[in-house]
Structure 1
Amino acid sequence: MARRKKIYEGKAKIMYEGPEPGTLVQYFKDDATAFNAEKRATIEGKGVLNNRLSEFFMKGLTQIGVPNHFIKRINMREQLIRSVEIIPLEVIVRNFAAGSLSTRMGLAEGTALPRPIVEFCLKDDKLGDPLVSEEHITAFGWATQQDLDDMVSLALRVNDFMSGLMLAVGIKLVDFKIEIGRIWDNDFQRLIVADEISPDSCRLWDIETGQKLDKDVFRRDLGNLTDAYTEVARRLGVLPSNVTHATKPTLIN
């Protein structure tokens, strides 16, 4: 069997050349990182859960007409995706104060924001993914003003979908980040949601108890990360309802 060509390896995923032009294979690793990779660990089963959860969310976005890179899940750890030109920005949507926003604004964690706030960070690990303004983005040519308008629109549509989905299973969507990429149809450019949507990229709190069900469990040493992600998957119906811990999850097709 021919060895696949690795295109890129990040902290949580590896990208391989896809079977057809314009496609990639996205592999989800068990690696967990925090604080710009200063804290690292291997969490058995994490990649399997994130693969399945990201598939679940991306399929849901497709059903409501939000374009994204997902094509199909290949196996427990891999999915086939469209190759896109990633815009070098993280797009963050915040519904409640947490993390760096609480620190910057002096707000207690969990404070409801007047409306969803969209922020942009430059994707650059060496610089610590700094917060940037729309003026920075257009001045340095990372995206046009039209791109920014489209990115905000996409992010808010994702927020509406994810907030409702989580609310239905007793989870508060505190914030999340997505990446957005460009695809080209002849000379026409479109922006689509890319990368992943998973508990790695969201803050998810139980509505009644405030229990954290996201990567803050790892960041703050609050317990077993796989247990937290398994609980999210179980509530959403991705795992059987009787599963409470899934080191090596059995997933529903």
Structure 2
Amino acid sequence: MTPDHGPLLYEGKAKRVFSSDQANMVFVEFKNDTTAFNSLKRAELENKGRLNCQISACLFELLEKEGVPTHYQALAAENWMMVELVEVIPLEVVLRNVAAGSLCKQTPIAEGTVLSPALFDLYFKDDNLGDPLLTEDRLERMGLVTVEQRRHIEKLARRVNTVLTSFLERLDLTLVDFKLELGFNQAGALVVADEISPDTCRLWDMRITDPQDRILDKDRFRKDLGGVVEAYGEIHKRVQEACSKPRNYN
């Protein structure tokens, strides 16, 4: 079922955004498209959009219950949600609890190294530039956020990390790292936007020791491990069992 939406406002790699008849609210459709390496690798995986939408809805509601503001309003269909319109900051906010991925390629830190406290990184969101890592001085020179906003971004991201890490551990899942998109709503408040799913989080199954079999996130696609949708389905199953049913748009 497709909600009664207005014109297409924006289309990204994994989602489409449509206008709605409610002020400052938009509909987001989660697509089955899957990309990696700045879209150099592409595929369409049946059911992926629905799984990411449902997982994100549960995790957004979890965050809100813990006092973390998000743009999420309600599920509008199996792979659609209604969200508050926000001005997204062009930064990828990354929290790393365990070394993996690009961190291990760019530094001598071995994969699997526990990072305590979690490593906080900011990247400039621009595919043409390869989403470069920003130093504090570069961030200041670019003028993307003020010093106070930068502090608020880190505080909010670390709060998200605390909530998600604790919740996922109870599901026998290690939150290795994750990226967030943040934005300002119409009232000027900083909120968590976009999605929180296996597309944006590295998740390892604590019940499995094999370093490849334990992967339950988009690394299965990046590394050609297969079973991507099955892995997302396992995350969906555990999250759904632990969360109350997400609220629906009427």
Is the pair's TM-score, using the shorter chain for normalization, greater than 0.5? yes
Is the aligned partner of 1:192 residue 2:191?
A: yes
Give unpaired runs (5+ residues) of structure 2. Answer: none
2:236 maps to what in 1?
233
Partner Cα distance (1:84, 1:43) in 2? 28
Relative to the length of structure 2, the TM-score reads: 0.91
Partner Cα distance (1:205, 1:154) in 2? 24
Partner Cα distance (1:226, 1:200) in 2? 11
Greater mean deviation of Cα atoms: 72-81 or 109-118: 109-118
Is the aligned partner of 1:94 residue 2:87?
A: no
Alpha-carbon distance, 1:237 to partner: 2.7
Cα 1:237–1:252, aligned 2, differ >3 Å: closer, same or farther?
Answer: farther
Partner Cα distance (1:5, 1:235) in 2? 35
Greater mean deviation of Cα atoms: 99-108 or 34-43: 99-108
2:129 to 123, 127, 130: 127
2:68 maps to what in 1?
66
1:224 maps to what in 2?
227
1:169 maps to what in 2?
171
Cα 1:118–1:30, aligned 2, differ >3 Å: closer, same or farther?
Answer: same
Alpha-carbon distance, 1:4 to partner: 2.6
| CA deviation profile, 1:169-190 (whole Å, cap 9, x unmatched) | 11110000000001232xxx21
Q: Match for 1:161: what amino acid? A: V
- Decide whether the 8 Å contact of 2:74 with 2:247 is kept in 1: no
Partner Cα distance (1:97, 1:30) in 2? 28
Alpha-carbon distance, 1:103 to partner: 1.2
Relative to the length of structure 1, the TM-score reads: 0.90
Alpha-carbon distance, 1:140 to partner: 1.2
Alpha-carbon distance, 1:114 to partner: 2.9
Spell out the pairing of 1:1-253 with structure 2 (5 A cutoff).
4-185=6-187, 189-209=188-208, 210=211, 211-238=214-241
Cα 1:252–1:184, aligned 2, differ >3 Å: closer, same or farther?
Answer: closer
| CA deviation profile, 1:143-186 (whole Å, cap 9, x unmatched) | 1111111100110011001101111011110000000001232x
Give unpaired runs (5+ residues) of structure 1. Answer: 240-250
Alpha-carbon distance, 1:49 to partner: 0.3
Alpha-carbon distance, 1:252 to partner: 11
Q: Match for 1:194: what amino acid? A: A
The aligned length equals 239
State the secondary structure of the residue aligned to 2:50.
Answer: helix
Partner Cα distance (2:144, 2:197) in 1? 25
Q: Match for 2:177: what amino acid? A: D
Alpha-carbon distance, 1:193 to partner: 0.5
- Decide whether the 8 Å contact of 2:5 with 2:21 is kept in 1: no
Partner Cα distance (2:6, 2:85) in 1? 16
State the secondary structure of the residue aligned to 2:186.
Answer: strand
Alpha-carbon distance, 1:238 to partner: 5.0
Query: What's the C-alpha RMSD, in Å, of the aligned pairs?
Result: 1.9
Identity score, percent: 41
State the secondary structure of the residue aligned to 1:184.
Answer: coil
